[in-house]
Structure 1
Amino acid sequence: MSAELIAVYKDEQIIDLENAKVLGLSDGIKALKGSEPIFFDDSPLALEVIRHSCAHLLAQSLKALYPDAKFFVGPVVEEGFYYDFKTSSKISEEDLPKIEAKMKEFAKLKLAITKETLTREQALERFKGDELKHAVMSKISGDAFGVYKQGEFEDLCKGPHLPNTRFLNHFKLTKLAGAYLGGDENNEMLIRIYGIAFATKEGLKDYLFQIEEAKKRDHRKLGVELGLFSFDDEIGAGLPLWLPKGARLRKRIEDLLSKALLLRGYEPVKGPEILKSDVWKISGHYDNYKENMYFTTIDEQEYGIKPMNCVGHIKVYQSALHSYRDLPLRFYEYGVVHRHEKSGVLHGLLRVREFTQDDAHIFCSFEQIQSEVSAILDFTHKIMKAFDFSYEMELSTRPAKSIGDDKVWEKATNALKEALKEHHINYKIDEGGGAFYGPKIDIKITDALKRKWQCGTIQVDMNLPERFKLAFTNERNHAEQPVMIHRAILG
């Protein structure tokens, strides 16, 4: 079975056997020239297909055990798959073995997995009375809706999927949680069950062993055991308490970085933690980031608690006149910021509502972008090596919704590419994943579970300098707008 063809990869998408038929290819999947075959194994592309089908197997089993169950979405995610659903029955993690057993029953039936394409009208009628499926359809444009079927179960889906449930033998349901419909806390709470699946017994065994080992090194567990930090419900979720040992450790890291930053020409600055909302309106945060901010009123004037340090550093820049001889200017701050994160995404120190950023902003000319980014990459490598972090880089390019001239974007993006090339850094490209104001490089570290967390970032910003009318006097004695580079290494 390990050598069986289950799909192909072509034009940056996975096409399964059923979708090949829908495309009208008489020879099925083999007719797709210039495609990469995907075999049934533990390769990343194969696992995406396997885990997607396992999510449907989970939903089929839930429907058999809880007939009134209704399903929202069941995507593949980095750590496996999940399905969001609701039922009148009470379900806990103690029920997972029972659900898993039902999944194995259906897998053994060797049910063919087929696809049917419906019009919007047909799909609405097929899932009549199912408000969750109607919610899914409301977010999909067009008039073609895929429905995958296995046995008595069917689900709205675009694929890709395996051709038969017989492939699904090595899976495990890992946890149960709550999830708001569509991720909106104003909506109803659904049940979310997570799972993992592999093509081989060895793949599943190795993963489960890794999970158990990682639990021993979970930073939330070690933080308490080592007396570094804690959380208190009376204070609030996502607001860490730094204990004496943890505070001393933080200070040592900050002192280490400060010495290195001063040697590299950075100047320490410090901005206030609350700023008038007027300045957040100029920056665009008020219109685009307001839901993630906290506000207060002082003397009938609205203030916003800063979610980022950039505006304060801009005001430092504006406190004096500058010429080309002053550039680049490099400001750094261990800035405390607050962000309104939803409770469901809070995770130890990795996702919190208050945190300190190892933050810096560089004001430079356009011609200095490459050399400044190159220096940041060199510093990043030294810091990651000092902490023995495994990391990777990802370059994000211009998104569909963005500002600025095409040529300026191209030059800025090429400057980042050349800086990466200069340091012989292999990197991934996230096409269209950049910020609306400029391209960026994300620095992602890998934890004991092999999950990737964005730790640092390098962002070229041509928007804020324009919004705040920043300027320096160039060599021709004319006013010129500087470029702003946002930079954080340890997050």
Structure 2
Amino acid sequence: MGPCLYNPDHLFKLVFVGCSPVHHQLESHSQPIQRLSSLVFLSEKEYKVYSERQHKSRERDHRTIGYQQKLFMTHKLCAGSPIFLPRGTRLFLNLKKILRREYALYDYEEVITPLVYEKELWQNSGHWELYKKNMFLMEKESTGLKPMNCPAHCLIYQSEPRSYRELPLRFADFGPLHRNEDSGTLTGLCRVIKFHQDDAHIFCRQDQIYCEIQTCMAMMEKLYKLLGFSYYTVLSTRPEKSIGTDEEWKNSEQQLKMYLDTRGSPYEVRSGDGAFYGPKIDILVEDANGKRHQTATIQLDFQLPSRFSLHYTDVAYKKIRPVIIHRAVLGSFERMIALLIEHWEGKFPLWLSPTQILIIPIKHDSEKQLEYATKLSRRLKLLEFHVETDFSKDAFVKKIARSRTLYNYILTVGDREVLQETVSVRPRSDSKVLVKKIDLFIEHLQKERAIE
């Protein structure tokens, strides 16, 4: 950006938005640097617009909402590895549940793979040469925590003979991954050291590539529509450091480009931004500040099948190399949860919400009301609803006020509700209080929770 020249006819407002040391270093021996950031506005109006946007983004910041709603916490003893609290864990499991539903529709087989491997695995895959600095190594660099699942899935494929009739094989893995990030780059849930992916690898024939890419994108579009996200599509091509021949890379890039061109939607090309083993289609989503984060990805890989000597037998019993499609729909669960918190401002739809229902007895010292509330809570939990009960001695009005925006529904029970086997329902979306029979209310909940 060029110099800012003073013009007395305009009002300039200089705002300092940050002054702090940058913790990460370009080289291990470098000194931390001080960075001073400033913004200049041509008018008071522009400054106010910017200021209002910043205020709103701070209110929606996933770190603020996550703390207020007790979704997750961080600690200096495990920097970069967030701790999901009970409510945050429910949110995590809700996402996993909708993915498992899609896996059943698209014939994915879920697997569980080890966390630690001998370095021979990473040497074989190429990660030791090109990704070692991002790995956590142990025992004098003889073993390391896995930063991705693809080599392990290659071992599964390799474990028995494969026929062309079996393909495509789709292995899905929710296991934790660890990547060594510079401390200065860690931000809330968006960039962490330990994370979980809806990671999957599709082993297929050459003639199945286009159909599999199409299916992966269809799954992504369906889920992002459900989550309420708009997104940007990027084609990332061969980086400077890579493995494989020019012909293999050209073929891979052409296949992805052909799909995107046929699809007809706009996309951006980022030269040199692909994985070291292959080009990829990336999906980017904006956070509350307008910053874009990569979430879904589809990567085409001709390299790992060769490096692990993978093959299948065709109809003539000839050995043929399969192709691997690396695929994530939500990407990092941690990052996706951060984006969802900001997108919904912590007010999640019922099917996703970790705080669906709160039950409040009107009198905290009434044994009948407490017993009724407990039985109702147990019944709803058996139907897999997320239910909390407020048995505190605080004033009833105070309980309602502090919980109104957090829960999808607040159920209050008094002597009348106990006698009539009803509940007084306060929906978050409506100020009206509705008295309903329990069976009818449960029927309503089940319909609202359904996402088909």
Equivalent residue, structure 2, for 1:467: 307
Does residue 369 of the first structure (1) align with residue 212 of the second (2)? Answer: no
Tell me the TM-score normalized by structure 2.
0.68
Shift of the alpha carbon at 1:358? 1.0
Judged with a 3 Å threshold, the aligned counterparts in structure 2 of structure 1 residues 181 and 252 are, in CA distance, closer, same or farther, namely: closer
Shift of the alpha carbon at 1:401? 4.3
Judged with a 3 Å threshold, the aligned counterparts in structure 2 of structure 1 residues 403 and 232 are, in CA distance, closer, same or farther, namely: closer
Tell me the TM-score normalized by structure 1.
0.63
Judged with a 3 Å threshold, the aligned counterparts in structure 2 of structure 1 residues 339 and 167 are, in CA distance, closer, same or farther, namely: farther
Q: Distance in 2 between matches of 1:421 and 1:281?
A: 36
Judged with a 3 Å threshold, the aligned counterparts in structure 2 of structure 1 residues 465 and 201 are, in CA distance, closer, same or farther, namely: farther
Q: Which moved more, 1:174-183 or 1:329-338?
A: 174-183
Task: Report matched runs for 1:26-65 at 5 Å.
Answer: 49=1, 52-53=2-3
Counterpart of 2:20 (choices 166, 173, 177) is 177
Q: Distance in 1 between matches of 2:10 and 2:295?
A: 37
Judged with a 3 Å threshold, the aligned counterparts in structure 2 of structure 1 residues 458 and 195 are, in CA distance, closer, same or farther, namely: farther
Judged with a 3 Å threshold, the aligned counterparts in structure 2 of structure 1 residues 329 and 204 are, in CA distance, closer, same or farther, namely: farther
Counterpart of 2:252 (choices 392, 396, 412) is 412
Equivalent residue, structure 1, for 2:230: 390
Q: Distance in 1 between matches of 2:58 and 2:149?
A: 34
**For the Cα contact (< 8 Å) 1:266–1:331, is it kept in 2?**
yes
After superposition, give the CA deviation of every residue in 1:313-351 in whole Å (9 maximum; x if it has no partner). 111111111111111111101120111111100000111
What is the aligned-residue identity percentage? 39
Q: Distance in 2 between matches of 1:366 and 1:470?
A: 14
Judged with a 3 Å threshold, the aligned counterparts in structure 2 of structure 1 residues 268 and 181 are, in CA distance, closer, same or farther, namely: closer
Shift of the alpha carbon at 1:478? 1.3
After superposition, give the CA deviation of every residue in 1:215-234 in whole Å (9 maximum; x if it has no partner). 0010011111111100122x
After superposition, give the CA deviation of every residue in 1:69-110 in whole Å (9 maximum; x if it has no partner). xxxxxxxxxxxxxxxxxxxxxxxxxxxxxxxxxxxxxx4389
Query: What SS is found at the alignment partner of 2:3?
Result: helix
Q: Distance in 2 between matches of 1:361 and 1:309?
A: 9
Task: Report matched runs for 1:107-122 at 5 Å.
Answer: 107-108=5-6
Query: What SS is found at the alignment partner of 1:484?
Result: strand
Counterpart of 2:49 (choices 206, 210, 229) is 206
**For the Cα contact (< 8 Å) 2:10–2:43, is it kept in 1?**
no
Query: What SS is found at the alignment partner of 1:349?
Result: coil
Equivalent residue, structure 2, for 1:222: 65
Equivalent residue, structure 2, for 1:265: 107
Q: Distance in 2 between matches of 1:380 and 1:278?
A: 34
Q: Distance in 1 between matches of 2:40 and 2:217?
A: 37
Shift of the alpha carbon at 1:416? 1.3
Shift of the alpha carbon at 1:434? 2.0
Equivalent residue, structure 1, for 2:80: 238
Task: Report matched runs for 1:51-450 at 5 Å.
Answer: 52-53=2-3, 107-108=5-6, 169=12, 172-179=15-22, 183-197=26-40, 202-233=45-76, 235-297=77-139, 302-450=142-290
Judged with a 3 Å threshold, the aligned counterparts in structure 2 of structure 1 residues 378 and 167 are, in CA distance, closer, same or farther, namely: farther
Shift of the alpha carbon at 1:174? 1.2
**For the Cα contact (< 8 Å) 2:248–2:302, is it kept in 1?**
no
Residue ranges of structure 2 left out of the alignment (5+ in a row)? 332-452
Query: What SS is found at the alignment partner of 1:238?
Result: coil
Greater relative CO (CA pairs within 8 A, separation 6+)? 2
Q: Distance in 1 between matches of 2:114 and 2:55?
A: 43
Shift of the alpha carbon at 1:203? 4.3
Shift of the alpha carbon at 1:412? 2.0
1:228 alignment partner AA: L
1:211 alignment partner AA: Q
Query: What SS is found at the alignment partner of 1:399?
Result: coil
Q: Distance in 1 between matches of 2:287 and 2:234?
A: 17
Report how many aligned residue pairs link the two structures.
331
After superposition, give the CA deviation of every residue in 1:133-167 in whole Å (9 maximum; x if it has no partner). xxxxxxxxxxxxxxxxxxxxxxxxxxxxxxxxx99
Shift of the alpha carbon at 1:376? 0.8
**For the Cα contact (< 8 Å) 1:293–1:306, is it kept in 2?**
yes
**For the Cα contact (< 8 Å) 2:252–2:300, is it kept in 1?**
yes
Q: Distance in 1 between matches of 2:165 and 2:74?
A: 48
**For the Cα contact (< 8 Å) 1:444–1:454, is it kept in 2?**
yes
Judged with a 3 Å threshold, the aligned counterparts in structure 2 of structure 1 residues 406 and 167 are, in CA distance, closer, same or farther, namely: farther
Q: Distance in 1 between matches of 2:315 and 2:255?
A: 22
After superposition, give the CA deviation of every residue in 1:23-71 in whole Å (9 maximum; x if it has no partner). xxxxxxxxxxxxxxxxxxxxxxxxxx3xx535xxxxxxxxxxxxxxxxx
Q: Distance in 2 between matches of 1:255 and 1:209?
A: 37
Q: Distance in 2 between matches of 1:441 and 1:378?
A: 13
Shift of the alpha carbon at 1:182? 5.4
Query: What SS is found at the alignment partner of 2:265?
Result: coil
Shift of the alpha carbon at 1:291? 1.8
**For the Cα contact (< 8 Å) 1:266–1:330, is it kept in 2?**
yes
**For the Cα contact (< 8 Å) 2:125–2:307, is it kept in 1?**
yes
**For the Cα contact (< 8 Å) 1:277–1:302, is it kept in 2?**
yes
Shift of the alpha carbon at 1:301? 8.7
**For the Cα contact (< 8 Å) 1:275–1:305, is it kept in 2?**
yes
Judged with a 3 Å threshold, the aligned counterparts in structure 2 of structure 1 residues 216 and 301 are, in CA distance, closer, same or farther, namely: closer
2:52 alignment partner AA: F
